[in-house]
Amino acid sequence: MQKVKVLLVISSKMTEMAQFHVEDRGPPDLRIWVVQQVRERSLMRILVLADIHSNWPALAAIQEPFDACLFVGDLVDYATDPVPCVDWIRKHAAVSVRGNHDHAVAQRIPVVKSNGLHQLAAATRPLHWKVLSPLHMKFLTRLPVTRKVTLDKKRFFLVHATPRDPFDEYLRDDKSAWQARLKGVDADFILVGHTHIPFALQLDGPMVINPGSVGQPRDGDPRAAYAIIENGKVELRRVKYDIDATLKHMRDSGIDAETLELATAVLRTGGRFEFDKLAQSVGTALDEDPNDVHDTVELAQFKPVETPKKKRKASKKKAPAKRKPSAS
Ligand SMILES: [Fe+2]
C-alpha cells in the first residue's frame, strides 16, 4: 500500500457555518488539498417547534435538516408518550421555553376540570408522572419562561403565549394586539405557540411566528405543523404522521374509551371536532370563525383559583391569589 503525504492548505479564515471548496492538487505521492472558503452562509436553517404534547409519532415525522431548533413550549399532556419527546428536545433544541402544560406537569398540578380538552389533560397527566424520570421532570422544571437568542445576527424572543401573559393568553394573528403587547421587546422574530394555530405576522418591525402545533393541530389540518426560517424567509409547513400509532399508544397506556374517542376526533379532524363540541356546550353558533369560539370558550373557562387559606394565627399580610394554567 503506497504511503501518501497530505498537505492541507487553508486559504482563508473559516467559520463553522461557512461553505468550502476542496481542490485536490499535486503529484501522486503528495496530495495537496487546497481548502477555500467559497462564501459564508449568511443565515442558518432554523426549525421552530411548539405544542408537541407527548405525541411522538408526530414529532418523529418531522424530518427536516436544521442548524438550530427553537422550541416554544408545551412538550407534555394530551397524549401518552412524553419520554421520547422530552429526550428529543433535550438533545436537539438549542433553546426551549416553558409552556403552561410543562409548568403544570413539572409542578404536579392536578387538572381540576374534566370538560373539553381538560378531559384529555386529566386523563394523561397522571401517566406522565409515572413515566417521566426525575431527570425529565428536572428539565421541565428548569425551562425558562422566556428566552432571547441571537442567531446569524437576528434576534429571537421566545415565549409560549404572549409577553404579557406567558402561559395563558390566547392571541392569534391580530396585528394591533401584538403590536401593543410587544412594547419593550426588542427582537426581529417573536416565536410563540399556545393557540395551536399557525401564522406568520409581519408587524412594523418584528415578525411574530406561531409554527402551529406538532402534536395537536387545531386549524382543521390534522398534519403536524412546524416552521422553517431560512435566509430571512419563514415557511409554515405540515407533514402527515401516523395518527393511528398515537391513538394505539394512548389505548395501550390505559386511557379510557370516552377520552380516547375525544382524542381520536381532535387528532383526526385537526381540532375541528373540538370547536364544534365546545361551541355546542355554550350554545354558540359557528357562523363566524370557529377558532375564535374556541379561544373564547377557553378564556371563559379560566378563573383564578384562590390559594387555600391555612389555619394559622392572623396575619396582616394577604397571600396573593395563584392562577392555575388553563388547558391549551
Ligand atoms: Fe398547547
Q: How many angstroms does the Cα of residue 264 sit away from the middle of ligand 1?
A: 17
> Using CA atoms, how far apart are residues 165 and 99, in angstroms rounded to an integer?
11
- How far is ligand 1, taken at its centre, from the CA of residue 156, in Å? 20
Mean pLDDT of the chain: 80
CA of 263 to the centre of ligand 1 (A): 14
Distance 161 CA to ligand 1 centre (A): 9
Taking the centre of ligand 1 as the mean of its atom positions, its distance from the CA of residue 196, in whole angstroms, is: 6
Residue 140 confidence (pLDDT) = 98
Q: Which amino acid is at 286?
A: L
Cell representation of residue 232: 430571512
Please give the Cα distance from 210 to 198 (Å, whole number).
5
Cα-to-centroid distance, 168 and ligand 1 (Å): 10
Condensed to tens digits (0 to 9), the pLDDT of residues 129-177 reads 999 999 999 999 999 999 999 998 999 999 999 999 999 999 999 999 9
Confidence at residue 34, expressed as pLDDT on a 0 to 100 scale = 56
Q: How far is the CA of 135 from the centre of ligand 1 (A)?
A: 22
The proportion of the chain whose per-residue pLDDT surpasses 90, expressed as a percent, equals 65
Burial class for 236, CB neighbours closer than 10 Å (0-12, 13-18, 19+): middle
Digit-coded pLDDT (tens) for 46-85? 999 999 999 999 999 999 999 999 999 999 999 999 999 9
Question: pLDDT band at 42, cuts 50/70/90?
Answer: low
- Whole-number Å distance, alpha carbon 218 to ligand 1 midpoint, is 10
What are the grid coordinates assigned to 101, written together? Answer: 402544560
- 74 C-alpha vs ligand 1 centroid, how far in Å? 5
Domains and CATH numbers, the chain: 5-40 (no CATH), 46-239 (3.60.21.10)
Q: Which long-range contacts (CB under 8 A, 24 or more apart) does 12-17 make?
A: 12/36, 12/37, 13/37, 15/40, 17/41, 17/44, 17/67, 17/152
Angle at Cα 102 formed by Cα 45 and Cα 278, nearest 5°?
Answer: 100
Listed residues: CB within 5 A of ion ligand 1: 51, 74, 328
Q: What confidence category does residue 180 fall into, taking pLDDT thresholds of 50, 70 and 90?
A: very high
Dist. CA 36 → ligand 1 center (Å): 46
CA of 258 to the centre of ligand 1 (A): 21
Give pLDDT, residue 163. Answer: 94
Strands (E), 205-317: 207-210, 224-230, 233-239
Name the nearest CA neighbour of 55 among 227, 213, 265, 271.
213
CA 220 to centroid of ligand 1, rounded, Å: 15
CA of 173 to the centre of ligand 1 (A): 17
Taking the centre of ligand 1 as the mean of its atom positions, its distance from the CA of residue 219, in whole angstroms, is 13
